Amino acid sequence: MTIHIGVPSTIRTTIGAFSGDFVALRREFHQAPELAFKEFATSAWIAELLESWGYRVTRDIATTGIVATLKCGTERRSIGIRADFDALPIQEATGLSYASKHPGRMHACGHDGHTAILLAAARYLAKTRRFDGTLRLFFQPAEEIGAGAKAMIADGVLERFPVDAIYALHNWPSVPAGAFGFVEGPAMASVDKAIVTVKGKGGHGAASHETVDPIVAAAHVVTALQTIVSRNVDPLDMAVVTVGSIHGGTASNVIPDKVELQITTRTFRDEVRKRIESRIVEIASRQAEAFGASADVDYRRGYPTVVNHRSQTELAREVAADLFGSLRLISPFAPRTASEDFAYFLEKRPGAYLFVGNGSSAPLHSPEYDFNDDIIEVAASFWAALVERSLAPSRATDPH
């Protein structure tokens, strides 16, 4: 059997010829956003398209997840590519003609674009079939708030649909449109949440000496927490400790019984992650005690660090350089302190998570954010080239 691997110009020309269809599709997705684990219409839409192109589609994985499989040739090698398709509970403020039609829901992170990109690549790969092995496309729900990757893995997705390596990408505002960023090792931070409840003794604001003021104690906790990164973390490591919410009291002349703080933390290394957790507990408890109060800490671990594997990252970088030229690659590209549940896939299988520039758009999760449709053809061509390189026929398969 002879399989001809497409050259870069052929890939881009072929995908470019129908990329406009996927710009239109992306905008249709954008108008009909669905939240975590409720992406029923989007999931059905994706599955129908893939089936129409000849993929074997398995639906309802972790509620709304999809895996599409396409086998070609004789090799047993396999590759997986993941796209997310959930939206956020945000009221859109773009004023675009294709803005969300559902109040309070918006594709404010570009998952509609990620899905359109992978679908465009899927159409090309089904049409050309210039690879030898098994292609699996993972369309994942609930990346934003529901840990959809973790749910799909718990549903046995990697045992039912094994892959040798798995990849994903994310658009990134402020990076030149269509430029690529690759990070070997830690690429996106872990994320944890701590809820600190400072408890005192409430009373009248005019007789504060009769109370144990949790607001004063909480204020000192917030100040002391700022020393964790500066005094407990090696300056060569990265860490973020942010108090994003304070709630306590209802009136100016009433001292409440308790105050609640909500904290987010970000790290790249597990040792730092553990250190920050222990210091939050220690600082909150002891600062509160210094004022006669107490503090309970509910520390909740979130997504782990996205850690890219060396060989898969290097392969992806080489594919992008061959396809677009080295000038399209940003080097060095710094790790991001945002978080991603693709980390769970990379804990189970080798792979890489990469970044493609979205241009000068509003930030991710902004009500004014908009995905840059110009990068659909670029990123879809990259996925197609990566599959063809990863599943290139062996000499035994291709005598030429």
| Three-state DSSP class for residue 106 | strand
Q: What is the pLDDT of residue 210?
A: 97
Category of 141 on φ-ψ map: left (φ > 0), alpha (ψ -120 to 50) or beta: beta
Cis peptide before 8 (omega within 30 of 0): no
pTM as predicted: 0.93
219, two tokens: 């204020």
354 closest CA partner among 116, 80, 167: 167
Sign of CA dihedral 148, 151, 153, 159: negative
Q: What is the pLDDT of residue 400?
A: 37
Q: What is the pLDDT of residue 394?
A: 77
Do residues 180 and 297 touch, judged by C-beta distance below 8 A?
A: no
Q: What is the pLDDT of residue 204?
A: 97
Q: What is the pLDDT of residue 7?
A: 56
Do residues 117 and 29 touch, judged by C-beta distance below 8 A?
A: no
248, two tokens: 């306590």
Q: What is the pLDDT of residue 145?
A: 87
| d(C-alpha 113, C-alpha 298), whole Å | 36
Do residues 217 and 286 touch, judged by C-beta distance below 8 A?
A: no
Q: What is the mean pLDDT, run by run of 10 residues, along the chain of 400 residues? A: 51 97 98 98 98 98 98 94 98 98 98 98 97 98 93 98 98 98 98 98 97 98 98 96 98 98 98 98 98 98 97 98 96 96 98 98 97 98 98 62
336, two tokens: 């991001």
Kindly give, in sequence order, each residue whose CB lies less than 8 Å from that of residue 58, ignoring residues fewer than 6 positions away: 66, 67, 68, 69, 160, 161
